[in-house]
Amino acid sequence: MPGILQKTTQSPSTIAGLNIKSGKYTVRFAQGRNEVEEALRLRFRVFNLEMGKGYTRSYFDFLDEDEFDRYCHHLVVVENSTQEVVGTYRLQDVNTAEQGRGFYTASEFAIHLFPSRILLNAIELGRACIEKSHRNSRVLYLLWKGIAQYAQLMGMRYLFGCCSLNTMEAEEAWTVFRQLKRGDHLHPDYHILPSPKFRCLKPDAEAKSDTPVMLPQLFELYLKLGAKVCSPPALDKAFQTTDFLILLDLEQLSTQTKNLFFK
């Protein structure tokens, strides 16, 4: 594969050894079950307690955990002085998906309609969050630096996953879809429907005028990096969000962005 991403023979232990320090933080993969649980507790605090979303079952053990977590790689940002996990992302590729429960995104969208050349060379992203008191550009930068290094080690070209809105309102979801279309953020080649139980029906009458909707910061970041939306909205009733399927081709990143994350 040309450019920044070359196929590698790196072993899982080498990938797990990723360790990048910047200021008072370090990004690496969670080491052992205890640190994975720290990431799951962080997710519970952000999704359930702060946002009022997430799984109801998480209140029993204060962990945002599902059947996919045990098979995924958990990228974490740790505060050096306290060793507290303050940021996290869940990652997996086709190998871990085949060994486990498949891709999480496949539970919501018909991603088998992607060409195999994409899925075989892609990393699924999910469950991104940062502790409120550490929500700064440095932590977000380190998470993306970690994703970039992981992609480089694995020789992967694409990133994909669900990007969420903090709403279950169909009218707002379709307003955002039209907004994305006007902004040329829809993928020209892929329009992948949600699974039947996740479909978000269009309102009987569209809004007469679309007031712009402010997207979540992470959603905006994906779009600025060049990610394309590959689906109409999907309603995730369990997590109480509206999701869109996004795809980012790392080879299409600007030179400035490549230098920022891959050097």
* Per-domain boundaries in the chain: 12-159, 164-252
According to the model, what pLDDT value does residue 204 have? 77
Please state the φ and ψ torsions of residue 154, each to the nearest 5 degrees.
Answer: -85, -10
Indicate if the pLDDT at residue 83 is higher than 70: yes
Structural tokens at position 137: 């550009």
Please state, as a whole number, how many other Cβ atoms lie within 10 Å of the Cβ of residue 189: 9
Return the amino acid letter for 178.
Answer: R
Torsion of CA 24, 69, 35, 129, to 10 degrees: 30
Q: Are strands 122-130 and 158-165 parallel, antiparallel or unpaired?
A: parallel
Indicate if the pLDDT at residue 55 is higher than 50: yes
**Looking at per-residue confidence, does 33 or 210 come out higher?**
33
Please say whether the structural domain 12-159 has been given the CATH code 3.40.630.30: yes
Question: How high does pLDDT run on average in the chain?
Answer: 91
Residue 163 CA to chain centroid, in angstroms? 7
**Looking at per-residue confidence, does 53 or 113 come out higher?**
113
